């Protein structure tokens, strides 16, 4: 899985490319937590290039969300494909995490915090 982080206003945008499954989730968790440890507690996870997410991926989201909030920030999601958006909805994740259509909207939401 390819991972990269860029700055967007007051937030760090993490872009993942590939499958967020049990194989890749540990690396994704480490990568995202390293951004938080660097001081980026406003994290935007761009899922637009993620083609598959399992329960291991959901667990990764929870771990990173928990740490972001512990540090006084938040984790917000961008651009899940319809199938991933479906599992986020039926598992109630959309009730505890904000999901946006694009990075611009997500970054703007942090600007109003």
Partner 1 sequence: MNETTTARTYCLTKAAHIETLPAFREMIRMACANHADIDEQTCYDLQLAVDEACSNIIEHGYAGMNPGSIMLELRLSPFPAVITITDFGHPFEPVDAPMPETEAALENPDISGFGLFFIYNFMDEVDYQPSEAGNHLILIKYLPSKAKADHSGIE
Binding site for partner 1 (CB under 8 A): 19, 21-23, 52, 54-56, 58-59, 62-63, 65-66, 82-83, 86-87, 90-93, 95-96
Nearer to partner 1, 54 or 108 (CB): 54
Closest contact distance (angstroms) between CB of 57 and partner 1 is 10
Phi, psi (deg, nearest 5) at residue 61: -60, -45
Q: Containing H/E element for 7?
A: strand 2-8
Closest contact distance (angstroms) between CB of 12 and partner 1 is 21
Nearer to partner 1, 9 or 21 (CB): 21
Nearer to partner 1, 20 or 107 (CB): 20
């Amino acid at each position: 899985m390819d991972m990269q982080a860029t700055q967007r206003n007051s937030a760090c945008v993490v872009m993942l490319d590939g499958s967020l499954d049990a194989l890749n989730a540990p690396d994704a968790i480490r990568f995202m937590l390293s951004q938080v440890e660097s001081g980026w507690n406003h994290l935007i996870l761009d899922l637009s290039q993620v083609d598959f997410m399992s329960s291991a991926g959901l667990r990764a989201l929870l771990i990173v969300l928990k740490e972001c909030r512990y540090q006084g920030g938040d984790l917000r999601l961008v651009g899940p494909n319809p199938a991933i958006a479906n599992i986020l909805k039926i598992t109630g994740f959309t009730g505890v995490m904000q999901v946006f259509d694009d990075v611009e909207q997500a970054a703007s939401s942090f600007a109003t915090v």
